[in-house]
Structure 1
């Protein structure tokens, strides 16, 4: 436990630079890809072909993701495998406007990746080299701890975008305190990767204009099947509201927002951003670390009987009270008859504290046995992804 706290202390002091051009580029990528970029910036070099190469050792990955599970290496190997179905690190792409000719160019961020002998090596597109290393201006300093703490890719993107905008505005105006930033709704979805060009020449042509018609882009995106979060109420509930909550709980930013309306139609988002004082940031980080430590202890205790998402459910139900969960788990293991539905048993035990009265009989609710069947040896790619990103 002491070593874990020291590891977290080390991470909390680390920062990295990221070009504002990269931060504000349109494109789609996973939260894990961006987290690996942040970790990799701690140990990079430029090779003979002018590619930036990041080397990340397995021990460093374990510390950063607070993982002692052997499945971490298995997951990293899958991440580097182009044949794996689902998101890999090669799917991180950016759309950037060339400053000289105004044309939109697509860039695959990671061109090569390998995980051998416990070491992850990432090679970045050499067209992005000057936007990754030797940054002298137009960059933002980001907190490695803040980046690693965020679960949602939308939270992570908003953290970068709003931190960049805030720092730039503060540098220009020499002002402190709350600042306001506005985005067109479609513009925001483009930057979050919810909408992309989708190979549409018409969308790219519109984006290349000095003043793009975002209503037109929205129509074109719908024609290409990009209708995710089209309705504002769904976008607000599933993206903005969750990102705000996560940013305010886990990072140095304090964020609020409101819709910009034209009649009944929401046309944009207005963000209000300020930075927490150092004491508040430290307190926020401490709470997050304590929850992560408790969750890790619970995984060690119960991983033979419960899936990761079930352990997380139990932790949240018990408000991360380790003793209450352990007593419930011990009570279940010493129960006089077989427990057919362990997750239901544990939840009821936590709520009613049956372990304090050994004469109480637990009566589980009926459940579909198919839904409670667990194939122990199956490789669950999604579970591993969530384990890495939920820290």
Structure 2
């Protein structure tokens, strides 16, 4: 990968109230875009000017010698000075966008750009952010959602700055639990389950009535804070074994779903017993409509199998087939290995909406608790 060959320093934590991580990159490779990509690989984002130079105080990393510009997340191709030369200047404010910010150095050395500062707290599209998609974002980057105590030790916000307004971030302690990282009504660090119960908007996409506005259908969610996870397959979870739920494109196949799970250390597709230990989907409950998820169950024919996690209440004959395995009741699927439509089960646009959900399980712990 590009980043492994050009990084000079990585993940050096700067000890401030705000957690900032410093990396360095070959100046001929470092651009605003490659810096943003580097931070995203760490499940973080480029720090803003205010996070680096709060109130134009000395930068959080200290004052460097000479001319040193770092890319910032306020605007595309914007940079902040962290060296003694014009300390805490924003490049766009004083000089406009730098030509060197989006390219190499034309054979020169570019000594004035080499440092990257990443901050926690990524903002995703709130309308489509759920507890599951947020956790997927972290896991795909080798981390996991933070626990409450990692974000708010002793009830004080630590990993990110307080955001103006009402903003909730999902936490790993309990499925569909969230923590307030905004300043709305003085409730920063409120634990949602403890204060209000499980949020109905935490596992759904679309508008979040009555909190939606004309500009934003879900203005209070979208922030995701990830924490390092050195051994994600054995981390304690709210279930008898570690099971993770993802929503993938409906073009996925059994093979691509398994590859997705196996790309995560120590994980594979779940079995039907892990997903439905007591006849009800453990992690999601019964979903509305016809929904199948791939499973790793073995059969003598070696057929790729799926289990039903939905309930198509519109047709009474399907009402009791929750947790049915497809091969046992209907034989092999015609659509399970097909990355296009699924015949009469496709929607009006030909999209195979009956397959979107994927469950990945830790293979170190397969037992089922009674």
TM-score by length of 2: 0.29
RCO comparison, higher one (Cα < 8 Å, 6+): 1
